[in-house]
Amino acid sequence: MLALEHVSVTFNEGTADEKKALQSIQLTLEQGEFVTVIGSNGAGKSTLMNMISGALYPDVGTVSINQQNVTALPEYKRAKRIGRVFQDPMAGTSPTMTIEENLAMAYSRNKKRYLVPGVNKKRRELFKEKLKTLHLGLEDRLNAKVGLLSGGERQALSLLMATFTEPDILLLDEHTAALDPSRAALITDLTGDVVKETGLTTLMVTHNMQQALDLGNRLIMMDKGQIILDIRGAKKQALTVEKLLHEFQRIRGTHLDDDRAILG
């Protein structure tokens, strides 16, 4: 489904600020895999996401989706097949536009856009039906400007917009990090439901180890631009936070900085 081969990227190469953000990453995702990604600040998680989405291009290496090499394909073209939710609840929606208009933009993701109305009766029904699955009552506020919604509501909407056209790949970058605990739990549940229902191939970055263990069927840990741990299946089910911390120590020979981030 998704394959990264020898993907490397260095920021500010040749200067004092040189940063090897990704070092020869090898990663293959099977259809329907749900991978959680953990790692300390600056490990390269967001950079990895940006490589896949096409927001950044690798210095060397290739990115393929469904056996097709997309390394040089610009972001907006890849976006037909990749859904994204960002950390910032402001980032995934258009605040001055209404809920239904936002959904209409998401609806056009994998189609050509024409000079026909973005919202029509049939689509409005579809949007309502989809919004109902969020249980937030948004289906009754189709004409409300998205800027008026709370962060949690926006993030739920972003998640819906990213997934309801069923792209090939779903990228979630700390999409619950900016929310209060109860809202974060809500979005986490929604994420689990959506992925289970649609069987989307998913990569989810989180700083919350428990969340990384609870969700998904595969877990990778990143550090200094490398994937240092890759656990799947039954082995992942058996993992605990303690075991993870211990594992990190064994591989890196140091303690994982137990900043807010890691234990979350």
Partner 1 sequence: MFISIFNAFESGIIFAIMALGVYLTFRILDFPDLTVDGSFVTGGAVTAILITNGMPAIIATFIAIVCGFIAGTITGLLNTKGKVNPLLSGILMMTALYSINLRIMGQSTIPLLNQSTVFTQLKNVFESAGLDGIINQGLTGLGLERTPSTYSVLLVMLVVTFFIKFVTDYFLKTEIGLALRATGDNERMIRSFSANTDFLTVIGLGFSNALVALAGGLYAQFTGFSDLNMGIGMIVVGLASVIIGESVVGTKSIMRTTFAVIIGSIIYRVVVTLALRADFLDNGDTRLITALLVILALVMPRLIETYKERTRKKKKRVALTEQIKEGA
Ligand X SMILES: Nc1ncnc2c1ncn2[C@@H]1O[C@H](COP(=O)(O)OP(=O)(O)OP(=O)(O)O)[C@@H](O)[C@H]1O
Give the binding site for partner 1 (CB under 8 A).
Answer: 53, 75-77, 79-80, 82-84, 86, 90-97, 101, 104-106, 108-110, 113-119, 161-162
Considering only residues 22 to 51 of the shown chain, the ones binding Mg ion according to CB under 5 A are 46
Cα distance between residue 213 and residue 37, in whole Å: 10
Nearer to Mg ion, 100 or 173 (CB): 173
Asked if 89 touches ligand X (CB under 6 A), the answer is no
Contacted by 7, from Mg ion, partner 1, ligand X, none: CB < 5 to 8 Å by type: none
Minimum CB separation of residue 93 from partner 1 in Å reads: 6
In 212-237, which positions are buried (b, 16+ CB within 10 angstroms) versus exposed (e)? bbebbbbbbbbbbbbbebebeeeebe
Q: Which of residues 21-80 bind ligand X (CB under 6 A)?
A: 21, 39, 41-47
Total of chain residues touching Mg ion, rule CB under 5 A? 1
Q: Of 10, 40, 36, 42, whose CA–CA distance to 24 is shortest?
A: 10
Of 49, 27, 8, which Cα lies nearest the Cα of 227? 27
Residue 15 CB-density burial (10 A; 0-12 exposed, 13-18 middle, 19+ buried): exposed
Q: Which residue type sits at 132?
A: K
Residue 53 interacts with Mg ion (CB under 5 A): yes or no: no
- State which H helix or E strand residue 108 sits in: none
Nearer to ligand X, 193 or 259 (CB): 259
Contacted entry of Mg ion, ligand X, partner 1, none for residue 43, CB cut-off 5 to 8 Å set by kind: ligand X
206 binds ligand X (CB under 6 A): no
CA–CA separation, 38 and 222 (whole Å): 6
Residues making contact with ligand X (CB under 6 A): 11-12, 19, 21, 39, 41-47
Residues making contact with Mg ion (CB under 5 A): 46
